[in-house]
Amino acid sequence: MIPRSTSLLRRSLLAIAATAAIVPAAFAQAPIVIKFSHVVAQDTPKGKAADYFAKRAAELTKGKVKVEVYPNSQLYKDKEEMEALQLGSVQMLAPSLSKFAPLGVKEFEVFDLPFIFDDYSDLHAVTNGPVGQNLLKKLESRGITGLAYWDNGFKVMSANKPLKSVEDFKGLKMRIQSSKVLDAQMRAVGAMPQVLAFSETYQALQTGVVDGTENPPSNLYTQKMHEVQKHVSVTNHGYLGYAVVVNKKFWDGLPADVRTALNKAMADATKVANEVALKDNQDALAAVKASGKSVIYSPSIGERFLLKKAMVPVHKQMASRIGQETIDEIYKVTGFDPSKL
């Protein structure tokens, strides 16, 4: 006969074994959570692409990964989200390319140079080629892995007065992103740049803290900035796009098969992002027009040329900050030659 104490021990061991058999299964099912924070509305190119990525990531990893998207600066504003990524409080972001210089990677401000890209095809030749890929690699030393470039679009200028000629910008307080190149661009036309977080821009325009701003139409419209700006000028003077980035330590620590699936989900989301960006910006401009709240002005070829002439000297002025080499690499890809102006 088994002594009572031994049988009790056996029963306890059996109970522990049974629990142990259940617990690992429960752990195995707990998905890896990726918090993806961004500052724009859900119905923007970035917002839609982030949601699509979340869906594709769940499909391709068969539920092993759950991407939680937090739009509209719900979690963090521009500057804080970068810090949160580096600390690992969030795992993924898609900040605009203008927002990487404060991390010390000043080369990214090359994308802010006015009139450096004529169109999306110029831009994609850069982002899909070695220049764009080498720029992403520079983020590694900051604990960040760059996964992809996502488009938004070419920027319009807005204010409460018509912006037709260079003189019209004189003395205007213009909200910009935290980029020294954008600062120089606004000063080149006599405006007074003011850095503000994206989430604070609408109110600053509404209360007159600033007079105007620049952004692609999709951002202008989804933030309702056109309701507090009487005039929009379709200058297409510069580009605004994103780098999708992830905390490097988190990314490197993922199982290889999960990383492969997420890379595929990202490639699919990038395709969607760029298609949506093109369409949303056209639609947004039409919607601003239809709202009747802002008058849309399309500068003539001559007016645009004068704006270009006033702004392009910023390329030379900013060369020591960005690196002439990076600027030249882009000129080589796009064929832009500032001396021919």
Would you tell me which residues interact with ligand LMR (CB under 6 A)?
39-40, 46, 96, 152, 177, 198, 215, 219
Nearest residue (CB) to ligand LMR, 65 versus 105:
105
Nearest residue (CB) to ligand LMR, 78 versus 168:
78
Q: How far is the CB of 330 from ligand LMR (least distance, A)?
A: 20
Q: How far is the CB of 340 from ligand LMR (least distance, A)?
A: 31
Q: Contact, 288 vs 296, CB < 8 A?
A: yes
Q: How far is the CB of 96 from ligand LMR (least distance, A)?
A: 3
Nearest residue (CB) to ligand LMR, 177 versus 270:
177
Q: How far is the CB of 325 from ligand LMR (least distance, A)?
A: 26
Exposure class string for 266-299: b at 16+ Cβ within 10 A, else e: bebbbebbbebbeebbeebbeebeeeeebebbeb
Q: Contact, 97 vs 108, CB < 8 A?
A: yes
Q: How far is the CB of 64 from ligand LMR (least distance, A)?
A: 29
> E strand or H helix at 7, and its extent?
helix 4-29
Name the nearest CA neighbour of 93 among 103, 81, 77.
81
Q: How far is the CB of 312 from ligand LMR (least distance, A)?
A: 22
Q: How far is the CB of 263 from ligand LMR (least distance, A)?
A: 23
Nearest residue (CB) to ligand LMR, 168 versus 280:
280
Q: Contact, 126 vs 333, CB < 8 A?
A: yes
Q: Contact, 208 vs 157, CB < 8 A?
A: no
Where are the strands (E) in the chain, listed by range?
Answer: 32-37, 65-70, 92-93, 144-154, 156-159, 173-176, 192-195, 212-215, 231-233, 239-247, 295-297
**Dihedral sign, Cα of residue 321, residue 322, residue 326, residue 332:** negative
In this structure, the number of other CB atoms found within 10 A of the CB of residue 73 comes to 18
Q: Contact, 334 vs 125, CB < 8 A?
A: yes
Nearest residue (CB) to ligand LMR, 276 versus 333:
276
Nearest residue (CB) to ligand LMR, 165 versus 206:
206
Nearest residue (CB) to ligand LMR, 202 versus 336:
202
Nearest residue (CB) to ligand LMR, 240 versus 333:
240
Q: How far is the CB of 31 from ligand LMR (least distance, A)?
A: 27
